[in-house]
Amino acid sequence: MLFLIEIDHVKSGQPVTNEAGDAFIEQVILPSLARGEQLAAEKKILAGGAVLGRISLRFILEAEALPDVDRIVSSLPIWPLAETRVTPLVAFADRRKSVEAIRERLAAGSKPQ
């Protein structure tokens, strides 16, 4: 199954000192990028990356089951500090089959389900 993963860092609104900024980069950003690279090398992330100009990630994840998605997403160091959206995706070919079946039912006079 394919999933669109959207992860956005939630800013606290507090001014950040140089030391805190450096710690955040070292403890959160760089490890999150490294984990993303690892998941891409393992072919779990099929495409995606960091969002330009933001502390955000967008990627397509392939997983067998929902617990796998949860485990993988929560393994990113940025996850506890972020707002995360997971959207299940339907492959184009599968959606085409579904729409064609609806079209056939409509042509036969049946209501779509």
| pLDDT for res 16 | 83
SS3 25: helix
pLDDT, greater one: 26 or 111? 26
Q: What is the pLDDT of residues 43-84, one digit of tens each?
A: 999 999 999 999 999 999 999 999 999 999 999 999 999 999
pTM: 0.85
Question: What pLDDT score does 40 carry?
Answer: 98
Q: What is the distance between the alpha carbons of residues 105 and 87, in angstroms, rounded to a whole number?
A: 28
Q: What is the 3-state secondary structure (H, E, C) of 57-75?
A: EEEEEECCCHHHHHHHHHC
The domain tally of the chain equals 1
Residue 81 in domain? yes
CATH number at residue 70: 3.30.70.1060
What confidence tens digit (pLDDT) does each residue in 8-33 have? 999 877 778 999 999 999 999 999 99
